Amino acid sequence: MDEKETRFSSNNLELEGLLNLLPGEKGVVVTHPHPLYGGDMKNAVVESLIRVFLQEGFTTLRFNFRGVGGSQGEYDQGQGEQTDVRSALKYMTQREKREISLVGYSFGAWVNVLAGTAQEEVQKMLMISPPVAFLDFSSVTSIPQLELVIAGDRDQIAPPNLIETMLPVWNPAARLEVIEGADHFYGGYIGRLESIITAHLKSEPV
């Protein structure tokens, strides 16, 4: 992957990211798992998501939330992190991307839905293992951009049966894909995860 190091501002903080700039209007911002549990932009699941979107011709941006790696600031309980997401979306629009997808894994999915549902830049949203048994999703109501949610059937942090009860509130038209045998970390199931997302992207009208 031909990603280049980049930096952008989130209010008064400077965040580090990895950008792969491709021609066209399609872009994706991918957010990482919980910073307090070792999550960062180089997480294996995040890397696999970047790989899939690159193969489908998207400009990709992943970045470290505030306080992670070389990003300034400190962990902010998901509040300041929402500003980080909005800043990343703005960064993409400044690069002439008009069809932006917002994809989050675990903690990243939670921050994305809190930050991104009101953002006009976001055309599509995907959630990978939204941690509904670990973080508070009660304030999340309609997510019109949500198209796909993926979780493993052995995931105790993002249990599919709990996600299923929330999906009608989030977006009745969104699809839940459950990967049999996978837990929250997708060890041994990254290929299956990638194939589901690839199939979803290819089914979209071009």
pLDDT in tens, 166-192: 999 999 999 999 999 999 999 999 999
70: number of Cβ within 10 Å: 11
Confidence of residue 120 (pLDDT cuts 50, 70, 90): confident
136: number of Cβ within 10 Å: 11
Beta strands 13-20; 59-63: pairing state: antiparallel
Residue type, 122: V
Nearest to 177 by CA among 70, 50, 169, 186: 186
φ, ψ at 103 (rounded to 5°): -125, 130
Number of domains in the chain: 1
pLDDT for 203 beyond 70: yes
Report how far residue 63's alpha carbon sits from residue 40's, in angstroms, rounded to the nearest whole number: 8
Within 13 A of 147's CA, how many CA atoms are on the CB side?
16
Nearest to 111 by CA among 11, 9, 178, 35: 35
Mean of pLDDT values over 19-25? 97
Domain containing residue 136? 4-203
Res 204: pLDDT: 63
Res 206: pLDDT: 42
pTM to 2 decimal places: 0.97
Percent of the chain clearing pLDDT 90 (strictly above): 94
pLDDT in tens, 45-91: 999 999 999 999 999 999 999 999 999 999 999 999 999 999 999 99
159: number of Cβ within 10 Å: 19
Q: What is the CATH number of the domain that holds 126?
A: 3.40.50.1820
